[in-house]
Amino acid sequence: MQLIQQSPDIAAYLAADEAIDHEHPRVREVAADLARDTGDAYTYARTAFTYVRDTVPHSADSGDPRVTWRASDVLATRNGICYAKSIALTALLRAHGIPAGLCYQRLADDDGANPVVHGLVALRLPGHDRWARVDPRGNKPGIDARFSLEEERLAWTVREHLGEADYPTVYAAPPPEVLSALRNARDRTELWPTLPTHL
């Protein structure tokens, strides 16, 4: 699948905003710590991916009821759902000068019921002429997402016969449907029924 930039200007994928607040001291601190042990952009990107995937538990796995949506809060609380974790990874990549954006899948139960939009990250490293998607959701039995620029290793592969889909757009900022759900929920129980089912 060919990914399509929402904004034609690559600078949009380096910008800070209210959610992707990579100029926040907490994001800068984590980015600096991760950069200490990395020499090039590829190694930094892989390290940042692993950090978010493995040290920020998905709140559905951990049982944490808190809802986070700013990158700085995700990193401070070490908590978030897929959307929040994707925002945090995007911020860490941008903090290191790596263009990154948000992209999404539409997933469903094994019978096609209960569709929901799942958040991913797209990044573009120097020397690579295309965007690559990664999934920082967090691994558990049955899920083995990896950092790979050549062959996608996402948590889930879409099943089109169940109405699942890969959305090709790389968003420079979280779509309004995603951000609104995160910002308006007081806890995860309140969040679940408001998650977008399509974009």
Sequence ranges of the domains in the chain: 4-194
Low-confidence ranges of the chain (pLDDT < 50): none
* Tokens 């109405």 belong to residue: 163
Beta strands in 108-153 (DSSP E): 116-123, 132-134
Residue 129 is predicted with a pLDDT of 82
pTM above 0.95, yes or no: yes
Task: Please check whether residue 17 is in contact with residue 72, taking contact to mean a CB–CB distance below 8 angstroms.
Answer: no
Q: At what angle do helices 82-95 and 176-184 cross, to 10 degrees?
A: 110
- Residue 159: the pLDDT is 95
pLDDT at position 13? 98
Domain 4-194: assigned CATH number: 3.10.620.30
pLDDT for residue 1: 84
Q: Which residue has the tokens 């600096």?
A: 32
**Can you tell me the distance from the alpha carbon of 16 to that of 20, in angstroms, rounded to the nearest whole number?**
6
